[in-house]
Homo-oligomer: A and B are copies of this chain.
Amino acid sequence: MNLVAQPLSQEAFAAFGEVIEVGGAHVLINAGKCRRYTDLMQADIVDGAVGLSLFEAEIRPMPHHCDLLERHPLGNQCFMPMGNSSYLVIVAPDQGGVPGTPVAFLAQGHQGVNIARNTWHGVLCPISGTGLFTVLDRIGTGANLEEHVLAQPVTITV
């Protein structure tokens, strides 16, 4: 199955989580030299707390072959690029406990993405930049990873 990654936008991504980017309501701080966009990430953590981690990921060659999706039943997972990395965001609706047809987005280096709790998604997949990301997700014990090997792998181009 071939997919072309579509531009990431809040409207297109709404069923899977949030796009975190500038452009909406803000306040001017620091004598007018900084715009603050406040409280943009909806946390949804079960039995744990949100914490900050760093992910240092290899830059992936294109086209990208995806044969595995995963989801986290106990919390959302938010990725914020640090080194101008554009990256693929591969998600799928749930169909009776397994992923339905995947959808691919191309996120730019100024865009973060907050994948909603229990949403099927591919692993972090930077295609440019440094591959370093700030990640906000659940810190806690217990099983928070479910993986599903795709019967039909997906090839993604941009």
Chain A residues in contact with chain B, CB under 8 A?
A: 20-22, 26, 29-31, 33-41, 43, 49-58, 60, 78, 80-84, 109-110, 112, 123-124, 130, 132, 134-136, 139
Contacts and interface: CB of A to CB of B under 8 A. Distances in A.
Contacts of A57: 30, 33-35
Contacts of A53: 36-40
A4 B127 CA distance: 37
B39 A51 contact: yes
Contacts of A43: 49, 51
A40 B21 contact: no
A interface secondary structure, majority: strand
A30 B49 CA distance: 23
B56 A52 contact: no
A51 B55 contact: no
Contacts of A30: 57, 123-124
7 contacts: A33-B60, A34-B124, A35-B55, A36-B53, A36-B55, A52-B136, A82-B109
Nearest to A38: B53
Contact of A41 (B31, B37, B52, B81): B52
